[in-house]
Amino acid sequence: MKQILAALLAMLLLAGCTPTQEPSSPASEPESQSSSSAPDSGEPVSESVPEAPAGPVIDPAGQPNQPTEEPSSDQTAASWWETDLSPESLVAEIDPNLGFVTCGTPEGQYYIYDDAAKLSWSGSGVFAVSEEAAATDPAGLFNGAAEIQDLGARILPDTFFEIVTKDDTKVTGRLYENGVELIESLPGSGYGNTVKLALTPENYQTLQQNLAASRTAADERGWYYPSWLTMMKESRVTELVFSTVLEEGKGREPSTGVETRFNSSNPWPYYVFDDLMVEVTGPAQSTDATSLPGASHASVTFNNGLDYSIDLTDSQLLVRTNDTEGGLLYSTRFDTNVFEKTAQGHLNPPTGKPVIYLYPTEPTDCTVTVDYEPFTYTYPAYDDGWQVTAYPDGRLVNKADGTEHYYLFWEGGARPDWSFDSGFVVAGADTEAFLREKLAYLGLTPREYNDFITYWVPRMQQNRYNLITFAADEYEALAPLTVTPAPDTVLRVHMVFLPLEQLIEIPEQQLTPTERKGFTVVEWGGTDASYLLPDSDR
């Protein structure tokens, strides 16, 4: 798995759980001016900062703070930056075989901390990372660093790097002739501690080389993520709203507005933030536009009162904030209607639509349980299991309310560490034909694999390539299925896939068909495992 992820990192970057870069401002500012008053959480702010601010600095909450006093060079106790950049702050018991672990916050949100993806580069309002930068140990870069007063002139003025700790503290770094300046921020607050550091010559050279490699890799790849968007953190958001207008037709007259609102009364699932990670083709253009015609909309309210207003069409992305005059307009990478789907309440958890079919040889009362958490939706309602009467033709009658179904539906939000020791790399355009062949071979009937294809192919065909594996033992451990009375045949097909930008080589998975005999239980489902990719956060 570690080798697969290392190969994937070299060829693509997907937005993910751990934000890693700083936003840019809708309104450009001269180098001599101070930063925007947007919160340091991914809200648009200027990349420029005063070299030597005179008088109070305005923090993102709009409150004046006195400039941070330069730390003494003979300080003996651990400085804030030594604590923030220690291995204990950056890495949580990394599995040496996987290279990362999944962690939970006290609020129950999940992030992936990747020991190969802590250091990230951003410039011109877009985010990029290279294999070299990702492979750098951020804590190790600051071994032997010394606090100094004079950094000389700033270099690479449109470039900065970000390091995010386990407790969501962000450290932003800017490069100077004689070293780096680090600025600390905490969730919900603005710029805090500042320090100037001279690195060892070897570490400073490594840092500069890796940042340059990131920029080159992103330019060659031709797509990015807006740095202001990727840096947005759930810990700093109080409300998130998706809205759209459904056009006339399909029983709607006239056009109808719909929205889904997440806040303390209706907390968002952690994966909802993935819907905001829109790929773009380059830096933004400043604009006076206040909206995009025909766009779906997302608004984000931060805990200091600042608001994002985001419009998305199939070709453009517009962001505005309530503390700036202009906006930022991006060209998007490919058609998307994710805001529209989320506004209608169609959320996209990683594990989607496992459905269970029961085919007894005669009408049979059955109990069906899946030992899994967290469920995000079940149909019919799962109440410590489903109690149904199953018929040989596949009909199911739910005993709780008498409703009729032809399968039991569930989906969930777990993010397991799937292995890709073997599998298949399939062009997006060939996904439908591939799945039709493999699913039939595994033992699904045309009705079953048609249901599978119509659900999953629309989520996969736009990818350049898909890395696909069919999980067996891992899936059984993740979601044990129990049916009473015990069936004669159980066929569980769970596809796990990763989107790829380029072909990779992987051992072909050997599949074994299942012969259906007697009372047969069939389940199919899948997982979009993009969250496993470094810096996916998804």
Q: Are strands 520-528 and 351-359 parallel, antiparallel or unpaired?
A: antiparallel
Q: Are strands 489-500 and 520-528 parallel, antiparallel or unpaired?
A: parallel
**Distance between CA atoms of residues 118 and 94, nearest Å:** 13
Enter the DSSP assignment of 383: S
Phi, psi of 233, deg, nearest 5: -120, 135
Cis preceding-peptide flag for 23 (omega within 30 of 0): no
Contact in structure between 238 and 264 (CB atoms under 8 Å): yes
Contact in structure between 481 and 356 (CB atoms under 8 Å): yes
Contact in structure between 117 and 18 (CB atoms under 8 Å): yes
- The contacts of residue 291 (CB under 8 Å, 6+ apart) are 311, 318
pTM of the full predicted structure?
0.53
* Triad 199, 74, 155: Cα angle to 5°: 30
What does the block give as tokens for 156?
């690479």
Contact in structure between 456 and 495 (CB atoms under 8 Å): yes
pLDDT (tens place) for every residue of the chain, 538 residues total: 333 333 333 322 222 233 333 333 332 222 222 233 333 333 333 332 222 222 222 222 222 233 334 434 444 567 999 988 887 777 544 444 333 333 333 333 223 333 333 455 555 556 555 555 555 677 788 889 999 999 999 988 777 777 777 666 778 888 999 999 999 876 655 568 999 999 999 999 988 887 777 677 667 767 777 766 666 666 778 899 999 987 655 444 556 788 989 888 887 776 677 678 777 888 888 999 999 998 999 999 988 788 999 999 988 999 998 888 889 999 987 655 678 878 877 666 667 678 999 999 999 999 999 998 778 788 999 988 999 999 999 999 999 999 999 999 998 877 777 888 899 999 999 999 999 999 999 999 999 999 999 889 988 888 889 999 999 998 998 899 999 999 999 999 999 998 888 888 999 999 999 999 999 999 999 988 877 764 433 3
**Distance between CA atoms of residues 250 and 159, nearest Å:** 49
Give me the count of residues in the chain.
Answer: 538
* Cα 498 off chain centre by: 13
- Angstrom CA distances, 16 to 118, 124, 324, 350, 504, stand at 12, 20, 27, 12, 21
- Angstrom CA distances, 249 to 253, 296, 345, stand at 7, 18, 19
| Exposed/middle/buried for residue 385 (C-beta within 10 Å: 0-12, 13-18, 19+) | middle
Beta bridge partners of 239: 301
Contact in structure between 414 and 478 (CB atoms under 8 Å): yes
Torsion angle defined by CA atoms of residues 107, 471, 411 and 100, in that order, rounded to the nearest 10 degrees? 20
**Distance between CA atoms of residues 110 and 16, nearest Å:** 11
Q: Would the CA dihedral through 46, 232, 126, 84 be positive or negative? A: positive
